Amino acid sequence: MNSTESRHTNNWAVLVSTSRFWFNYRHMANVLSMYRTVKRLGIPDSQIILMLSDDVACNPRNAFPGFVYNNADRQLELYGDNIEVDYRGYEVTVENFIRLLTDRWPDEQPKSKRLLTDENSNIFIYMTGHGGDEFLKFQDSEEISSYDIADAFEQMHEKKRYNEIFFMIDTCQANTMYSKFYSPNILAVGSSDLHESSYSHHSDTEIGVAVIDRFTYFSLEFLENLEKDSKLTLQDLVDSYTFEKIHSNAGVRKDLFQRDLSQVLITDFFGNVQQTVVDNVEDDLLYLTNYDERGNLRNFTSEETPRVAPKRDAKLVNQKNHMISFASQKSSGISSSTLGSVAVAIGSLLALAKFFKI
């Protein structure tokens, strides 16, 4: 495979807010903002796992009940009818996060709450909350370490559960969380270096707390300029992180990643790939019916003329002779009307086979 090309066929996103309590409003806004972005760029809810450890929209302190905003102007509401939360409240645990990545679930676990990826999947993993040197808090009651995530990624690699992973984390000392990764095809970025804090961007005086973190704010500012056919790369995203904007040293780890970031489209992770394979069997049969072995259009009466396929190069006919032998048709005296009937019958059988998935 060319190191500049992606071979993935599907995209998934895992978005995790690990903090509880009203004063951590910004962490829920962070993850809901990322959720909105990946949906806008084409990843469907069926391929997004959203984990929210608290529901600030329904918190009695919320001056705007049922609403969550990421900007003081409150022009964009993040918590609407189109949100699908997969893990909520006390379901957001270290154990469930590890089970999600490794797909180690009991049989009764709903498919909608599983990460159903394969070796052709590109996965974007975003985490936000309170952290420290090589750990991230969950619910203020437990922690996940950089070793835990590294080992989970290795299990995913051994089980062929991903093609490439883009890991992004916004927390204090975030860059330490990817220091122990050792599995291939993983790119990681973080908001702050060892002994550095990750700062909020601004507060809303009516809500009374900070509504978004700086690293996530400027990531979203960059991503909001993207469309589904954008040619911007991950290198462009990484280059946009400056100390003047973020007030900390954002980091990137790319030694495990095989491709040059300047050749990796952002939509390889934030967009959605839909690759289809067109079955030309029916078209081939119609061509063989309508043209002779020399590529000339057959002479049909007005009653006998079937739907004519686009004319092709005559040299292709010889490649199709294994399907129908024109010589045998002539020697057997098969009429044009019979050929037309055969083509219609075969087309009907193919349609039935597709309908019943035979």
Catalytic residues: 130, 172
Backbone angles phi, psi at 134, to 5 degrees: 70, 30
Choose among 274, 238, 211, 266: nearest CA to 79.
Answer: 211
Task: Report the 10 Å Cβ neighbour count for 267.
Answer: 23
- Inter-residue contact 181 to 150 (CB < 8 Å): yes
Rounded Cα–Cα distance for residues 104 and 83 (Å): 26
Which 8-state DSSP code applies to residue 199? -
Q: CA angle 133-174-157, nearest 5°? A: 100
Tokens of 314: 């005559």
- The pairing of strands 186-190 and 251-253 is antiparallel
Sign of the torsion angle spanned by Cα atoms 192, 196, 202, 208: positive
Which 8-state DSSP code applies to residue 248? S
The type of residue at 313 is D
Rounded Cα–Cα distance for residues 8 and 30 (Å): 27
